[in-house]
């Protein structure tokens, strides 16, 4: 793997900003949430970026996450903690689209990233910035994939990592977290309760809390999804994006990316309808969206087979809901049965193995199409956020007994 390098000069970061109040915070300092208890957003000198970055320059760079360096916060290349974050493909689902009566349906397959999920985008940036700021131990709660990415990048950076996950987290996730160097603990609770343990442990043990949106830089990694898809689609954004939404970092990040690209003159003012996809058994954003609220109350007794979106309460709730409403999109909840059916059908029809959260986006698309929230000719993009190989698969194999005659006609 070629290690990402770039000129040793200050980045275009100017400051951090409270997402709720707009209060400015100094860059190059360790920050968690703002004084208002809300996420901090990284701000850039976009006029300077416009002078330094062109579409032609991008075309000549390696097809990886770090090609967007002018819009990323890491100042020095020696602090980049990389495992090879390559651009992920966008391809169509022709058989699925035909069955649903749509002209075209696209999927961006994030399972191709290191550790097999889109969590690599956010965690590579958070860990790289933690290294740049001198942090030695990180801790975080996880439903699985984020913990695996955090463990891998922290180990790569020479940091300690302490990870807490609900005790029904997929077994492969728990084991890969440990295999990649973290201390991992199963907790008989949900992810926000794991987060409470992280918060208290940070006070007692001095860990840095890397929980979703409780530091500024995971958004910057996740926004590369929006930067990337814009270029891949010829600088013409899709009509709709269906995004599996738990903490919502990626949806928030893409919305930020689109604004930055417009400021650079790379795209126009058109935006996709943003669909925040949740499971019916854990749908705080859907409930708040339908009630016209800007903040979402905690969802009690959260349950779903799509563990990655089982987040009862998100600190960035208002940022998710603001983006969905500004885009003309919706928050949509889908039942577990529909999620499971979507995973099975797209595998058999189009040869694509979705994770449950990816299946949720397909189920939500079908629901939105039937309701007229998207049109049959609209270009819609689904996010498959992790490789389906991380999840239990039903056994549909047959058996051949070599001690008996083989009926080849029946095979």
Using 50, 70 and 90 to split pLDDT, how confident is the model at 393?
Answer: confident
Give residue-wise pLDDT tens across range 142-194.
999 999 999 999 999 999 999 999 999 999 999 999 999 999 999 999 999 99
Using 50, 70 and 90 to split pLDDT, how confident is the model at 392?
Answer: confident
Residue 368 pLDDT > 80: yes
Contacts of 39 (CB under 8 A, 6+ apart): 19, 33, 213, 214, 216, 219, 252, 315, 316, 319
Give residue-wise pLDDT tens across range 304-348.
999 999 999 999 999 999 999 999 999 999 999 999 999 999 999
CB 107 within 8 A of CB 381: yes
Give residue-wise pLDDT tens across range 27-72.
999 999 999 999 999 999 999 999 999 999 999 999 999 999 999 9
Residue 202: predicted pLDDT: 94
Using 50, 70 and 90 to split pLDDT, how confident is the model at 394?
Answer: confident
- Rounded Cα gap, residues 383 and 145, in angstroms: 15
Packing angle between helix 317-327 and helix 284-291, nearest 10 degrees? Answer: 60
User: Per CATH, which fold does 90-112+219-390 belong to?
Assistant: Rossmann fold (3.40.50)
> Using CB atoms within 10 A of its CB, is residue 245 exposed (0-12), middle (13-18) or buried (19+)?
buried
For residues 77 and 121, which has the higher predicted lDDT (pLDDT)?
121
Average pLDDT over residues 18-34: 96
DSSP-H helix ranges across 8-105: 46-52, 55-59, 94-100
Cβ–Cβ contacts within 10 Å for residue 2, how many?
A: 8
Burial 50-80 (b: 16+ CB within 10 A, else e): eeebeeeeeeeeeebbbbbbbbbbbbebeeb
- Rounded Cα gap, residues 337 and 340, in angstroms: 5
């020095």: which residue's tokens? 76
Sheet holding 240-244, edge to edge: 90-92, 105-109, 380-384, 240-244, 273-279, 330-334
In order, the DSSP letters of 203-247 are HHH--EE--TTSSSSHHHHHTHHHHHHHHHTTT---SEEEEE-SS
Percentage, residues of the chain above pLDDT 70:
98
Using 50, 70 and 90 to split pLDDT, how confident is the model at 359?
Answer: very high
Give the residue from 229, 200, 240 showing the smallest Cα distance to 104.
240
- Rounded Cα gap, residues 357 and 49, in angstroms: 35
Average pLDDT over residues 373-400: 94
Percentage, residues of the chain above pLDDT 90:
95
- Rounded Cα gap, residues 96 and 365, in angstroms: 11
Residue 1 pLDDT > 70: no
Phi, psi of 330 (to 5 degrees): -150, 165
Structure tokens of 223? Answer: 């926004």
Residue 6 pLDDT > 60: no
Range with the poorest average pLDDT among 2-16, 218-232, 288-302: 2-16
Rounded to two decimals, the pTM is 0.94
Average pLDDT over residues 279-284: 98
- Rounded Cα gap, residues 234 and 268, in angstroms: 12
Residue 399: predicted pLDDT: 94
Average pLDDT over residues 280-307: 96
User: Are β-strands 137-141 and 40-44 bridged in parallel, bridged antiparallel, or unpaired?
Assistant: unpaired
The average confidence (pLDDT) of the chain is 95
């Amino acid at each position: 793997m070629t290690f990402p390098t770039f000129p040793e000069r200050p980045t275009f970061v100017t400051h951090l900003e409270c997402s709720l109040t707009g209060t400015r915070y100094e860059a190059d300092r360790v920050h968690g949430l703002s004084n208002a208890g809300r996420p901090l957003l990284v701000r850039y000198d976009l006029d300077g970026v416009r002078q330094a970055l062109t579409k032609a320059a991008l075309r000549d760079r390696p097809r990886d996450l770090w090609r967007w360096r002018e819009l990323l916060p890491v100042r020095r290349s020696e602090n980049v903690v990389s495992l090879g974050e390559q651009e992920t493909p966008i391809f169509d689902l022709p058989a699925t689209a035909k069955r649903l009566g749509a002209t075209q349906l696209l999927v961006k397959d994030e399972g191709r990233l290191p550790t097999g999920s889109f969590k690599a985008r956010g965690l590579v940036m958070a860990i790289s910035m933690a290294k740049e700021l001198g942090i030695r131990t990180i801790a975080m709660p996880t439903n699985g994939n984020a913990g695996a990415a955090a463990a891998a990048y922290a180990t790569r950076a020479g940091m300690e990592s302490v990870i807490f996950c609900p005790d029904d987290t997929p077994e492969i996730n728990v084991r890969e977290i440990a295999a990649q160097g973290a201390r991992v603990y199963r907790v008989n609770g949900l992810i926000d309760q794991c987060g409470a343990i992280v918060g208290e442990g940070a006070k007692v043990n001095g860990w840095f809390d890397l929980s979703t949106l409780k530091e500024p830089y995971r958004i910057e990694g996740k926004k590369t999804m929006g930067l990337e898809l814009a270029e891949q689609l010829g600088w013409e954004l899709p009509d709709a994006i269906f995004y599996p939404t738990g903490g919502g970092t990626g949806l928030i990040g893409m919305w930020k990316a689109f604004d930055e690209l417009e400021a650079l003159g790379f795209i126009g003012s058109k935006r996709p309808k943003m669909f925040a996809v949740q499971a019916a058994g854990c749908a705080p954003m859907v409930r708040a969206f339908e009630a016209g609220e800007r903040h979402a109350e905690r969802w009690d007794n959260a349950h779903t087979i799509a563990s990655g979106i089982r987040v009862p309460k998100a600190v960035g709730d208002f940022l998710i809901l603001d983006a969905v409403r500004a885009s003309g999109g919706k928050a949509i909840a889908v039942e577990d049965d529909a999620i499971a059916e979507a995973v099975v059908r797209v595998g058999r029809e189009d040869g694509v193995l979705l994770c449950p959260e990816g299946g949720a986006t397909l189920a939500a698309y079908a629901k939105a199409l039937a309701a007229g929230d998207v049109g049959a000719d609209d270009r819609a993009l689904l996010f498959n956020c992790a490789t389906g190989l991380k999840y239990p698969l039903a056994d549909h194999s047959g058996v051949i007994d070599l001690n008996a005659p083989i009926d080849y006609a029946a095979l």
